[in-house]
């Protein structure tokens, strides 16, 4: 829903696990919450068919809202993003013409050791690149791609307690050796 308008039926085709009744309820909530807008309406066989479009500006958690979220709010938001991502990926795989290799599908993790300055620079570089490409308009030459970013610090792996003791003893031994060499 990146600028394109979808009907409820089209959304249901993309999310077949969601019942029509649930889809209508969810769309109603999203319209009331001003996350979706009615892009157009047309009369189809005597029934008004609405086309909805995502309001991108509203579909972002800004820094103030993120700061106000509890840890559980972050867990729920992350779970919602993951559920959406899984639904999108399954819809892609279910298409007859899907070809993960030729479509350059990737799902990778890159552990990075970054200072605060490195992290800020990386986020700015990635954001600039995404912004540049997000300005492309829909056209017959372009395929829609989904890029999802997840970025958070991780703790280093827990070290084996025996190794920690050996490291401490080695460090203490080095200190003792250094003291002897100084005297």
Using one digit for the tens of pLDDT, what is the confidence trace for 78-102? Answer: 888 888 788 788 888 988 999 999 9
Which one is predicted more confidently, 181 or 170? 170
Using one digit for the tens of pLDDT, what is the confidence trace for 57-85? Answer: 666 788 888 999 999 989 888 888 888 78
Q: Which CATH architecture has domain 1-60?
A: Orthogonal Bundle (1.10)
Average pLDDT, the chain: 83
| pLDDT tier, 2 (very low <50, low <70, confident <90, very high otherwise) | low
Nearest to 148 by CA among 75, 73, 82, 69: 82
What are the residue ranges spanned by the domains of the chain?
1-60
**Residue 112 near residue 156, CB atoms below 8 Å:** no
| pLDDT tier, 158 (very low <50, low <70, confident <90, very high otherwise) | low
What is residue 46's three-state secondary structure? coil
């Amino acid at each position: 829903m990146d600028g394109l308008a979808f009907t409820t039926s089209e959304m249901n085709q993309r999310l077949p696990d969601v019942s029509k009744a649930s889809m209508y309820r969810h769309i109603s909530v999203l319209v009331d919450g001003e996350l979706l807008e009615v892009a157009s309406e047309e009369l189809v066989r005597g029934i008004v068919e609405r086309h909805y479009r995502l309001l991108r500006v509203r579909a972002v958690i800004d820094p103030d809202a993120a700061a106000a979220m509890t840890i559980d709010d972050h867990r729920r938001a992350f779970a919602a993003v993951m559920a959406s991502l899984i639904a999108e990926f399954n819809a892609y795989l279910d298409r007859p013409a899907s070809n993960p290799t030729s479509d350059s599908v990737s799902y990778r993790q890159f552990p990075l050791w970054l200072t605060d300055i490195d992290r800020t620079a990386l986020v700015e570089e990635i954001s600039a690149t995404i912004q540049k490409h997000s300005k492309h308009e829909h056209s017959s030459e372009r395929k829609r791609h989904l890029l999802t970013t997840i970025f958070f610090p991780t703790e280093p792996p827990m070290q084996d307690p025996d190794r920690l003791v050996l490291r401490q003893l080695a460090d203490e031994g080095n200190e003792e050796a250094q003291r002897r060499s100084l005297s």
